[in-house]
Amino acid sequence: MGYTLVICEKPDAARRVADALSGGKSQPEPVGGTTAFRFVRKGEEFVVCAAQGHLYGVSDPCEERAVYPIFDVEWYPLDQVDEDSAGTEKKVAAMKRLAAGATRFVNACDFDVEGETIGFNLLKYACGGKEREALRAKFSTLTEEDLVKAFDGLERQWSQGLAKAGRARHAIDFLWGVNLSRALSQSPLGGGARYRTISVGRVQGPTLGFLVEREREILGFVPVPYWKVVGSFENKGKRVVASYAEERVITWAAAERAQRECLGGVGVVEWVRKSSTLVNPPVLFNIGDLQKEAYRALRFPPGRTTRVAERLYLDALISYPRTGSQKLSPSIDYRKIVKGIARMPEYATAASEVLKSGARPAEGGKSDSAHPAIHPTGEKPRHALGYAESSLLDLIIRRFLAAFGPPAKKETIEISLAVGEHGFRAAGSRTVSAGWTRHYGRYVASRDVELPRVEEGERFRVEDVNVEEKFEQRPPRYSQSTLLEKMEREGIGTKATRADIIGTVLGRGYASGEWLEVTELGFAVAEAIERYTPSIAGTGLTREIEGRLAAVEEGKETEASLVRETIRTLAEQLAELTANEEGIGRELGSALSAVAPKQTTLGTCPVCKTGELRVIRSRTTKKRFVGCSNYPSRCRASAPLPQRGSIRATTKPCEYCSWPVVYVAGGRHAWKLCVNPACPGRSAS
């Protein structure tokens, strides 16, 4: 009678589904480029397989990759459109073989836009048009209980809005990206620059625009000086450090006068004000909140957080991470989850308190129809976790427990002291009741600032008055976390794609550093977009498309109509680019020449005597080393270099071996180094 074919997104998910449905009795079965799991459940034969990500991608029918404009897109096996996807042909063939023996089909890929798209395409192309009759398994964790429940409640999806919206997004992003990128990359470059791929996308353009806008604010910022006056006061061992009542003294003369007239004086406490506030527990994580908090607490970039969370999900340790929800579904037995956490020694005390309280978790206002907020499953890791996995899991568990905690109570104290006509203010806070902060532990952002107990009228001797010149601070550059927050506020990208878009901006060399500083190339690309395709530089068009994609998902607009409208808009933008190719080429060429990597010459090669030793970075390993310019025909001289710190050549060769000597500067230290690893001077020292 045939079997039920279950298509999962990833191999680990397929294995967990098979184990859950078979009670651990499934049999692995190699099939072409994948592994399937075969078992019988309730008298019915099942085969579970994994797509291993996207096996189909969009591209244009034209074989010449330099052609633009492109307005036709088709879906192809991924190895035909992406040279890094070798092996797709075997995986697709394996899917076709498995589909040939199946009489029922189940899409068990991740229940989101990408998962729906992956499953839809496999059912449509590899399984012979089974996308309409296939059943859907919906689950938010890979625990046995949730998987069994999902397969006991299989349902048919009639609208398939998620898949249609996903396919439309892929087509639109491909059309925008390929046309704009080819137009910019093939502009006749000036300045002697070589060809280089310049990528611009529908969301990437506005994201780069945010960085450039902030960089312009920084470049145009004129720092205005001011002076900060701080006094130190003492009375019988009690010390108070207080700031001048006028936080910014705008002239040196006024600051110096305050210092002169207060030194040696007495500060009298004018008033003491105390107030109490309740600090509510934090809400449950969605993916954006998790990315921001992991950056603050662990310094994980958003992309890394997403990847690590995905691994925790596949290990059945947390729920599906790519969610926008800050709420738990009423069907989730969170007391059972807390009981599981209580069996882990490091969380036992906090989890026991949560169980005794009987409280419900604090939830935010954002919801997601597909998945609940990110939460732990209560299961123990089945294998040792690495640093990243264990750290992120700890953050998620402690946030989950903190969400059940009572409000924390803080007492704020303000003190006003007068030294003659000069006023000073001191502020402190202390925790009266820790509440939820006990559960969140080291991830709590605020810290107490203790002040001694003082009374009105109490007199303090002025120990010192310090005057420090300050300058108004320029606007801060974006970090990956704050840029992601900006994208979220502006409504561009999706919870699943924002981190990847930031990674692309960095990977293309448009910005660099922990605090994202725009490069000359980034400026040139952004300015070309602003001048010739302004709708891409702004957020309006991108937001409009996001809204219309949501309408496709809800069945209010068709995939075809949205793609047609996008093509019309795109054609108008390409006309502007084509008409201005020369100007764009000159601007990009100058920028590329400015950022082209330059080789550092260290001096004449002591081996061949005719070549020059240079600092070279390997294209394959990305490591730097010293090599001769005559390599490989006439000289093979080479030497390793430290991989950290800047390298600068000195004027004198090594006195022991005549090889070049360099300065290596790293951190706070710099030292001299002969680059010859066999230098006699090394053993002599």
- CA 20 – CA 190 distance, rounded (Å): 61
Work out the number of other CB atoms within 10 angstroms of the CB of residue 161.
20
* Residues 6 or more apart in contact with residue 215 via CB below 8 angstroms: 477, 517, 518, 523
Tokens representing 212? 């450039």
Summarised one tens digit per residue, pLDDT across range 350-400 is 999 999 998 899 999 998 888 999 999 999 998 999 999 999 999 999 999
More confident residue, 602 or 255: 255
Summarised one tens digit per residue, pLDDT across range 493-519 is 888 889 989 998 988 888 988 889 888
- CA 412 – CA 422 distance, rounded (Å): 23
* Residues 6 or more apart in contact with residue 357 via CB below 8 angstroms: 404, 405, 406
Amino acid of residue 340: G
Amino acid 193: pLDDT:
47
Backbone dihedral angles phi then psi of residue 334, each to the nearest 5 degrees: -70, -25
Tell me what the mean pLDDT of segment 313-339 comes to. Answer: 93
683 confidence band (pLDDT: 50, 70, 90) = low
Tell me what the mean pLDDT of segment 633-658 comes to. Answer: 80
Tell me what the mean pLDDT of segment 453-473 comes to. Answer: 93
Amino acid 190: pLDDT:
47
Amino acid 668: pLDDT:
46
More confident residue, 241 or 625: 241
Tokens representing 546? 């996001």
Amino acid 191: pLDDT:
44
- CA 631 – CA 654 distance, rounded (Å): 22
Tell me what the mean pLDDT of segment 116-124 comes to. Answer: 94
Spell out the domains of the chain, with CATH numbers in brackets.
Answer: 3-158 (3.40.50.140), 168-219+476-593 (1.10.460.10), 225-267+408-471 (2.70.20.10), 287-402 (1.10.290.10), 600-684 (no CATH)
Q: Is residue 320 annotated as a catalytic residue, yes or no?
A: yes
**Does the structure show a pLDDT above 60 at 672?**
yes
Backbone dihedral angles phi then psi of residue 186, each to the nearest 5 degrees: -100, 5
Summarised one tens digit per residue, pLDDT across range 211-230 is 999 999 988 888 889 999 99
Amino acid 103: pLDDT:
95
Asked whether the beta carbons of 484 and 498 are under 8 A apart, the reply is yes
Amino acid 667: pLDDT:
46
Tell me what the mean pLDDT of segment 412-431 comes to. Answer: 95
Q: What is the dihedral of CA 474, 479, 485, 488, to 10 degrees?
A: 110
Conformation bin of residue 165: beta by default, left when phi > 0, alpha when psi is -120 to 50 = alpha
**DSSP line for 119-139:** HHHIIIIITTS-TTT-EE---
Amino acid 307: pLDDT:
93
DSSP secondary-structure letter at 376?
B
Catalytic site residue from 320, 347, 478, 532: 320
Backbone dihedral angles phi then psi of residue 314, each to the nearest 5 degrees: -65, -25
Amino acid 645: pLDDT:
66
**Does the structure show a pLDDT above 80 at 204?**
yes
pTM of this structure: 0.77
